[in-house]
Amino acid sequence: MTIVVMCISLLEFKDTAENRLLVNQQTLFQLKPPSGKFIHREKQHNDLVIQLSPILQNQAASNLFIYGFPGTGKTALTLDITCKLETEAEKRGVSLKTVYINCEENKTDATILSSTLKILNPDRKIPRVGWNRAKLIDEFKEYLNREKMNLLIVLDEIDHTLKQSGDDILYLLSRINDFVSSRVTTIIISNDVNVSNYIKPRVTSSFGRNKIIFTPYNAQDLLKIMQDRINYCFKTGVIGEGLLEKIAAAETTKRGDAREALKLLYYCALVAIEKRLPTIPLNLFEEAQERGESEAYTGIVGALPTHQKILFLSILLNPKRIIPSDNIYKDYTQYCHKYKYTPLTDRMVRNFLIYFSDMGLIYADTGWLKTLKKKSKRITLTMPEETKTNCINRLLEALQ
């Protein structure tokens, strides 16, 4: 295997400290736009305000279900509106507390409840593990009966909980107002547009009525979002002509993700700084795009469990451009023995291949293979050679 060595001139700290491009890179990625403008989200803004307004009359609002692809402004706009709601409630003398829980970090109903209780009552010692579900529910109800307030709970990335633990937490929250003196409103946010498949009919009646959909951004939206951000992140006049339009068009063909568009703009800036350029010209776009894709791939493979790392390494090191699936398990077992691991079953490896395909790491289809003289499932890599080399190096380092 030939390792590609890139010749990159070394930078000194003074080169980056005195760069003429970036003013404040943090504002490029912060959740809320520094200008406070949520581009092309006026309808979602108004829907949230209308749906949550009963709280200002000391009433529980209807539970809300917000969904859309990543990078479409769901979390940022929701948190901005809830912050404004808290301010207005304080002006009106309405008792309101807001709890935000990220379900990627709190996947079970027990951890969601314990995290909620810790936010509501930080002086009460509540273990993250140790209390069973019934104990946590009793504690939650007792607190709500004692405080007699309005509570707004935001469960972000709820798909993680639904897929791992089911919808018990949503069922509890959909019925909680029948048993407590406080008034509880719940907002659930999901990146998975098919997440309703994981919600039973008993819960859909509560969380399915009021949906707010965040559609992907189009090229014009992405262009406006980037133009809004660059005023706070870059020095005047350093963005090359046509660069923002190119980035917006490229991201629109994928999934209209504003975060990805901003990330690509950042990679363009990094390449320009590395080349010591005074501006960020359009001709850096492809190099920046390749760098971003390479880092995305290496980030994914670096987070794979050990056996998936071994399997993917065996695919990357296979010299064939199209790999028959019949050969993959044999290669995988050889690498398992090399790294002193007991191979998993063929069925488990086939499941891993489905996961790789879903993640975009491989392309899998069924077609005629001359070498086997029959139809077979075949695996093809779609990543550039430089990215492939980076992934191989990352996996070899992890498996040493």
Given pLDDT bands bounded at 50, 70 and 90, which one contains residue 18? Answer: low
* Contact call for residues 60 and 183 (beta carbons, < 8 A): yes
Cβ neighbours around 220 below 10 Å, total: 13
Picking from 140, 136, 205, the residue whose alpha carbon sits closest to that of residue 167 is: 205
Q: Is CATH 3.40.50.300 what the domain over 42-214 is classified as, yes or no?
A: yes
Query: β-strands 322-324, 363-369: how paired?
Result: unpaired
What's the confidence (pLDDT) of residue 14? Answer: 55
399 vs 311: CA distance, rounded Å:
12
32 vs 377: CA distance, rounded Å:
45
CATH of 13-29+217-299, one of 1.10.8.60, 3.40.50.11740, 1.20.120.720, 3.30.465.10: 1.10.8.60
What's the confidence (pLDDT) of residue 5? Answer: 39
Question: Does the pLDDT of residue 365 top 70, yes or no?
Answer: no
What's the confidence (pLDDT) of residue 376? Answer: 57
What's the confidence (pLDDT) of residue 223? Answer: 95
Class of domain 304-399: mainly alpha
Minimum mean pLDDT range among 40-54, 244-258, 294-308 = 294-308
Strands annotated E in the chain: 64-68, 96-102, 150-156, 183-190, 211-214, 322-324, 363-369, 374-380
What's the confidence (pLDDT) of residue 209? Answer: 76
Q: Where are the domains of the chain?
A: 13-29+217-299, 42-214, 304-399
What's the confidence (pLDDT) of residue 268? Answer: 93
Task: Summarize pLDDT for 173-193 with one digit per residue, the tens.
Answer: 999 999 999 999 999 999 887
Question: Does the pLDDT of residue 358 top 60, yes or no?
Answer: yes
Which residue has better confidence, 159 or 8? 159
Averaged pLDDT score across all residues of the chain: 87
* Contact call for residues 199 and 235 (beta carbons, < 8 A): no
Encoded tokens for 146: 């004692």
Q: What is the pTM of this model?
A: 0.75
Torsion (CA) 114, 118, 123, 128 in degrees, nearest 10: 40
What's the confidence (pLDDT) of residue 129? Answer: 67
Residue 121 CB contacts under 8 Å (≥ 6 apart), including other chains = 143
Task: Summarize pLDDT for 200-255 with one digit per residue, the tens.
Answer: 888 887 776 789 999 999 999 999 999 999 989 898 899 999 999 999 999 998 88
Query: β-strands 64-68, 96-102: how paired?
Result: unpaired
What's the confidence (pLDDT) of residue 4? Answer: 38
What's the confidence (pLDDT) of residue 3? Answer: 38
Encoded tokens for 190: 């999901």
Task: Summarize pLDDT for 302-318 with one digit per residue, the tens.
Answer: 888 999 999 999 999 98
376 vs 288: CA distance, rounded Å:
37
Picking from 258, 196, 200, the residue whose alpha carbon sits closest to that of residue 226 is: 258
Structural Rg of the chain based on CA atoms: 25
What's the confidence (pLDDT) of residue 320? Answer: 82
Given pLDDT bands bounded at 50, 70 and 90, which one contains residue 107? Answer: confident
What's the confidence (pLDDT) of residue 368? Answer: 45
Q: Give 348-378 as a DSSP string.
A: HHHHHHHHHHHHTS-EEEEEEETTTTEEEEE
Residue with structure tokens 């507390």? Answer: 97
287 vs 388: CA distance, rounded Å:
16
Whole-number Cα distances in Å, 84 to 77, 155, 278: 11, 18, 41
Minimum mean pLDDT range among 15-19, 226-230, 279-283 = 15-19
